[in-house]
Structure 1
Amino acid sequence: MAPSRPSLLLLLSVSLLAAARLAAATDHIVGAHLGWNPNINYSDWANNQTFYVNDLISFRYQKNTYRVFEVNQTGYDNCTTDSAVGNWSSGKDFILLDEPKRYYFICPGFCFNGMKVSVVVHPLPSPPGSHNASLSEHSKIHGSGAAASLLGGGGFLGSLAATAAAISAAWIGI
């Protein structure tokens, strides 16, 4: 049995909004123009950043000299890789921050020279107005422009939401 139009509509809308959230993610380059190197205060750098779920943290460094390990707080505090949950060595690593939590990264052998960084990742903020009505209910009541108003009305997310809502409204005959 084929899925109903409302089911397909919901799937399409959710997929488009998820893609929009990923497209809006920020790539945080550790150390900015200084990269991932010894004797840099990465705490200062991290404290001037705001990280959200689905952002990327990127490490740029000399391949074959440095590495990146994701560790727990004990590994971070003691500069050990015993608790490593991931490691990278390409020299240009892009790491997805997919959970709201504190992440810890170190470079073994250089950690005591400052090559460690800890970042706090926050949940994605709710779209403006999302507490008033769900996207689909708001669209049914107010038409296809409602999705854009729920998502702030402008920019990429607003345009994508308006397009998804217009397709949805046309498809189900609102």
Structure 2
Amino acid sequence: MSTSAHRLIVSVLLIAVALTSIHAVTATDHIVGANRGWNPGMNYTLWANNHTFYVGDLISFRYQKMQYNVFQVNQTGYDNCTIEGALGNWSSGKDFILLDKAKRYYFICGNGGCYSGMKVSVVVHPLPSPPTSAAVAAEHSSSTSSASEVFRHGPSVVARVVVAVFASIWFGSAAWI
């Protein structure tokens, strides 16, 4: 085998290994109250129930800087609208808070706004595991598959397709894979 063919094979294999080890993870920025922001009279429980939060996501509070604020509290502080023993506080008017653990978080406005509904509780879930090869195979046991289905299943499937295409082009067959 020539040196250039050997280098090509090694390069393709390295690319395939790199692609199979990559997992696309994107964080979501959940803006509390959406376009209405952090203000009295909103139903933040309803807002939170319409979102799914994962570890690594952000929760953002947008409000009048000198009028309101945000405190992270425990359940007692949330239930009683008190900031005693607060776990964190923000007052910039545009606060981004990293949800770094799978647990329930409680946030309130400490300037009295909590009594007007300015409080929100969110449950943060662990990141879902990427599908295993067996799960992907079982999910798509039919012989037909669209390109979008291949890409939806992650980098390992895409890497296999890339390797097979390169092998077909350079060696005339993907039988060695």
Give the structure 1 partner of residue 165 of structure 2: none
Q: Distance in 2 between matches of 1:111 and 1:33?
A: 19
The answer as to 2:129 corresponding to 1:117 is no
Q: How does 1:130-149 map to 2 (within 5 A)?
A: none
Q: How does 1:32-43 map to 2 (within 5 A)?
A: 32-43=34-45
Letter in 1 for 2:122: V
The structure whose Rg is larger is 2
Q: Distance in 2 between matches of 1:161 and 1:71?
A: 44
Shift of residue 131 of structure 1?
A: 7.4
Unpaired segments ≥5 residues, structure 1: 1-11, 133-151, 167-174
The answer as to 2:107 corresponding to 1:126 is no
Matched residue SS, 1:154:
helix
Q: Distance in 2 between matches of 1:101 and 1:56?
A: 14
Shift of residue 92 of structure 1?
A: 0.7
CA contact (8 A) 2:151 2:157 kept: no
Give the structure 2 partner of residue 62 of structure 1: 64
Q: 1:117 to 1:159 in 2, by over 3 A?
A: same
Letter in 2 for 1:96: L
The answer as to 2:157 corresponding to 1:154 is no
Q: 1:153 to 1:83 in 2, by over 3 A?
A: farther
Shift of residue 124 of structure 1?
A: 0.6
Q: Distance in 2 between matches of 1:81 and 1:122?
A: 25
Shift of residue 154 of structure 1?
A: 2.3
Give the structure 1 partner of residue 15 of structure 2: none
Moved over 4 A (4+): 159-163
What's the RMSD between the two structures over aligned residues?
A: 3.3
Shift of residue 83 of structure 1?
A: 2.0
The answer as to 2:42 corresponding to 1:45 is no
Q: 1:129 to 1:77 in 2, by over 3 A?
A: same
TM-score by length of 2: 0.65
Q: 1:127 to 1:78 in 2, by over 3 A?
A: same
CA contact (8 A) 1:79 1:106 kept: yes
Q: 1:130 to 1:32 in 2, by over 3 A?
A: farther
TM-score by length of 1: 0.66
Choose from 17, 27, 42 the match for 2:29: 27
Q: Distance in 2 between matches of 1:161 and 1:130?
A: 8
Letter in 2 for 1:117: V
Unpaired segments ≥5 residues, structure 2: 1-17, 136-148, 163-177
